[in-house]
Amino acid sequence: MICDWSIGDLPGLNKPEQLLLQELGIMTTGQLLLVAPDAATKQQLASSLGAKIQYVNKLVALADLARLPGVGCQY
């Protein structure tokens, strides 16, 4: 079973960034993975958030790990 978590459950995500992601329609870790499948879309997301691409890469990696039932959002 693949788990899908609330975007606010990702570690290291502060409240303003969480709200920005939600304004972009990203409410879950699964949605984050869907909207950022490649470097170009990650760069667009970083621009929308006013963040560096490395930060978006980190969020996507954490969302990917969260899909594992034994890992989730508890790192």
Each residue's pLDDT tens digit, 6-48 = 999 998 888 998 999 999 999 999 999 999 999 999 999 999 9
Give the total number of structural domains in the chain.
Answer: 1
pTM above 0.85, yes or no: yes
* Distances 11 to 29, 50, 65 between C-alpha atoms, Å: 12, 19, 12
Q: Who contacts 20 (Cβ-Cβ below 8 Å, separation ≥6)?
A: 48, 49, 50
Residue 73 located in a structural domain: no
Residue 72 located in a structural domain: no
Contact 3, 52 (CB under 8 A): no
Q: Is the dihedral of CA 47, 52, 23, 69 positive or negative?
A: positive
Residue 54 located in a structural domain: yes
Residue 1 located in a structural domain: no
Domain that holds residue 18: 7-66
